[in-house]
Structure 1
Amino acid sequence: MLKHFVGEGSNEGGRDDHSDSGKWNVFPGGNFDAHLVPFLDGGLHLDSKTEQMAAVMPCYGIAYDPNDPDGLGEHVGSAYSKHNISILRNTGWDGMICTDWMILDGIQHGMKDKAVPERYAKLMNNTISQHGGSFQPDVAKEAYDLMVKADGEDKAIETLRENARRIFKVMLNVQLFEQPYSDRSEAKAILENKDAAAFGADASDKAIVMLKNSGNVIAKDGMKDKPKVYIPQKFTAASKSRFGGDQPATIAPCFGAKLENEYWETVTDHVAESADPSEADITRLTAEELADCKYAIVKVNNPKDAYQGVQGGPSFMTVVMGTEPEPGPYWKPLSLQYRPFTADQDYVRKESLNPVDELGELQNRSVFGASTYATNESDLDLVLDVKSRLPEGCKLILVVDADRPMCFHEIEPSVDSIVFAFKGVSEEAYARVISGTVEPSGLLSFQMPKDMQTVFEQEEDVPRDMDPYVDADGNSYDFCFGLNWSGVIDDERTKTYKAAPLTKPEKEEVKADA
């Protein structure tokens, strides 16, 4: 299943279409067709036995081009959009389409004025076979009755059967009927397969991008003598998990708790025993106590904006967790920096691209004058604190475990080396790279913006149109940048990837129904 079709990532102001505030996928650069490339050139032309994607999940958002307000069809979420879905069907693709979750009665962008059975009928008529997160047979029957009333029983039953056929086609292709059972011994052998584990470890190593390496801090076999490395303790406040449930406050090493002394000799802060941990329970090592440390390693997350994914409601998370959305106004800037940010500069849009909402009511979604903050500003504070206590000659290595791009201007000048990867890379993989056991080979898949002005000046739908951050060594954190032990990587991959980005599919003609 390939997702999310089409335009996910071009949400207005960088917001999230899981919530009401991010419901518009905007194309100020007129670049809608570029967002079709992964589906029409990619999913329809796979280098595999299947040859094509088996299924597609549409996004929640409403496609909107301010240069042609009605050119991308009806102002409804992608699964409801005849314009969007017809692009797939007009290529001859016969796969199954499954909506994103809660689209019938939770996140029905553009369809709020319709009853649930009407939404269901519209999806059925748009060749949508499955409705993510929903099981409502009674609603389905009401929708079918509406279809019979509108188009007659022959047409309604034909539509129903076609949608059912596509579901069964997917199930048959993975043999859910012919062989519905699994063999425990075979499953165990697959799970414990050493070749598969080695492949996974190699993939993790290759996913790590070395962004900075001043003075060749990270070098081949650089820690073979197991030097002393300071890894500070980190306090994490109590919180609720994403799907509910309380997470207690914790104090733990910020990196490598399960790798202690495997690649280096670990030195860490003193922690007092406490039933209710707090920052006060940590006694930081002094510069004198760190005198014989050669390195320090601090692991952080990218800045986590306080309003990312929670602006406006109902959202996917408010539906799942049963919580109420934050009261309006919903229009907050989304920051990629650690320190608080206020969007009161001239480069911030004072009016949203579309001055009305999907129901035709006036609505200015500009964030001008509004403020936001990162919930993990303490990550930056930890790095700066560690830097202030390190003895001369001790090198600070920063590990960034990220889920989106970020601004580096606040943190890069204080560290000697940076290794960066998106979520899912193991700490052992980071350790292999940091210790010099494995040479870093990863390349940035996104540009890292110079600052928040660059973030706001970028057009949501246009790739590689920002000024990247340039670090103290003069390296630009641009798309396809990465370092290895010898310096900036320049190989066959970079020659391929640095080609101009595609702005329209090359293998399929884009044909959309009105």
Structure 2
Amino acid sequence: PTGSAGYDSKDVAKGGNGYVPIPLQYGPYTASSGREKSIAAGDPVEPGVTNRSYKNKTVTASNFNDLKTVLETKAAMKGKPVVVVMTLSKPVIPAEFEQSASAIVACFGVQDQALLDILTGQTEPSGLLPFQLPANMKTVELQNEDIPHDMICYTDANNHTYDFGFGMNWKGEIHDARTGKYVNAISKPKFSLKGQTLAITCATPDTKIYYTLDGSTPAFSKENEYTKPFAINGNMVIRAIAKKYGQNNSVLVEYQPKTLSK
């Protein structure tokens, strides 16, 4: 999705601060989960702007017709396969089109010949995602700028999660020396429920686990550190992430009563 650089002079003309969301989806997006108060403000060229928040503003990707093309092609093909090729320069939310695609080929500006070699079966795909593809814009808004792997990733109709390091070849999901070294280097936290008491563990030694109960992203701070099992209720959305200091952190996982994250 393209079309928003995060600033729109039309918003200024309407009395706003000019700052608007940068969507990772094609359809209209309203930043209901955006920050009320921006982290930074005070550029000398904007003496009257003390808050760059874009909360509750709505934008639509300028290439929204790309999504319409996929959906219309799916309908026109009447059950025949549809392969979606997308050029990425940043993460995208696949939820709007994934179920209309028989396959998705992601590239990052390679020559057309390389794409055609894959589409025609001349070359087996071997690439891995260099970043996470989020499940929705809410998880994008809630992520911390200084913590990697802290978004809830999109899971497709075949139960594949589009996380950092995910990729597929002709045999299925890729598991090789690259994924062994870089993917899940820190094991993701596991939830264990006994009665109404929840325990969180991590299989990687010498890690610390951080969690929240309200669906927000945990910070690596003392107040978010997990120390012992705790009682839960049906209104909680628990998110947890494990960190091994000096190395890396795990992916973010989410737990709701009777629902484990994938």
TM-score, normalised to structure 2, is 0.65
CA distance in 1, matches of 2:141, 2:158: 26
Structure 1: stretches of 5+ with no match in the other structure: 1-302, 313-324, 507-514
Counterpart for residue 334 of structure 1? 22
Please state whether the residue corresponding to 2:86 is helix, strand or coil. Answer: strand
Counterpart for residue 468 of structure 1? 153
Counterpart for residue 293 of structure 1? none
Counterpart for residue 352 of structure 1? 38
Of 70, 77, 84 in structure 2, the residue corresponding to residue 390 of structure 1 is 77
Aligned amino acid, residue 478 of structure 1: D
Structure 2: stretches of 5+ with no match in the other structure: 187-242, 249-262
Contact 1:407 1:448 in 2 (8 A): yes
Please state whether the residue corresponding to 1:494 is helix, strand or coil. Answer: helix
- How much has 1:384 moved relative to structure 2? 0.7
Alignment of 1:229-308 (within 5 A): 303-304=1-2, 306-308=3-5
CA distance in 2, matches of 1:481, 1:451: 18
The answer to whether 1:381 aligns with 2:78 is no
Please state whether the residue corresponding to 1:454 is helix, strand or coil. Answer: helix
Alignment of 1:119-268 (within 5 A): none
Of 143, 150, 166 in structure 2, the residue corresponding to residue 481 of structure 1 is 166
Aligned amino acid, residue 166 of structure 2: F
Aligned amino acid, residue 107 of structure 2: A
Contact 2:82 2:102 in 1 (8 A): yes
CA distance in 2, matches of 1:416, 1:445: 22
Higher RCO (Cα < 8 Å, 6 or more apart) = 1
The answer to whether 1:402 aligns with 2:99 is no
Aligned amino acid, residue 454 of structure 1: T
TM-score, normalised to structure 1, is 0.34
Contact 2:7 2:19 in 1 (8 A): no
Aligned amino acid, residue 409 of structure 1: A
Of 111, 114, 121 in structure 2, the residue corresponding to residue 426 of structure 1 is 111
Counterpart for residue 371 of structure 1? 58
Aligned amino acid, residue 157 of structure 2: A
Inter-CA distance 309–408: structure 2 relative to 1 (3 Å threshold): same
Please state whether the residue corresponding to 1:367 is helix, strand or coil. Answer: coil
CA distance in 1, matches of 2:155, 2:65: 24
Counterpart for residue 114 of structure 1? none
Q: Between Structure 1 and Structure 2, which shows a larger proportion of strand residues?
A: 2
Aligned amino acid, residue 376 of structure 1: N
Aligned amino acid, residue 349 of structure 1: R
1:94-144 per-position Cα deviation (integer Å, ceiling 9, x unaligned): xxxxxxxxxxxxxxxxxxxxxxxxxxxxxxxxxxxxxxxxxxxxxxxxxxx
Contact 1:348 1:368 in 2 (8 A): yes
Inter-CA distance 366–326: structure 2 relative to 1 (3 Å threshold): closer
Contact 2:88 2:107 in 1 (8 A): yes
Counterpart for residue 450 of structure 1? 135
CA distance in 2, matches of 1:454, 1:461: 15
Aligned amino acid, residue 391 of structure 1: K
- How much has 1:348 moved relative to structure 2? 2.1
Q: Between Structure 1 and Structure 2, which shows a larger proportion of helix residues?
A: 1
Please state whether the residue corresponding to 2:78 is helix, strand or coil. Answer: coil
Aligned amino acid, residue 403 of structure 1: S
Counterpart for residue 343 of structure 1? 31
- How much has 1:505 moved relative to structure 2? 9.0
Contact 2:6 2:20 in 1 (8 A): no
Alignment RMSD (CA, Å)? 2.7
Which structure's CA Rg is the greater one?
Answer: 1
CA distance in 2, matches of 1:502, 1:441: 29
- How much has 1:307 moved relative to structure 2? 2.3
Counterpart for residue 496 of structure 1? 181
Contact 1:310 1:326 in 2 (8 A): no
- How much has 1:435 moved relative to structure 2? 1.2
Aligned amino acid, residue 463 of structure 1: P
Contact 1:449 1:467 in 2 (8 A): yes
Contact 2:4 2:23 in 1 (8 A): no
CA distance in 2, matches of 1:379, 1:386: 11
Inter-CA distance 502–365: structure 2 relative to 1 (3 Å threshold): farther
Please state whether the residue corresponding to 1:379 is helix, strand or coil. Answer: helix
CA distance in 2, matches of 1:482, 1:408: 15
- How much has 1:310 moved relative to structure 2? 4.9
Inter-CA distance 503–436: structure 2 relative to 1 (3 Å threshold): farther
Counterpart for residue 126 of structure 2? 441
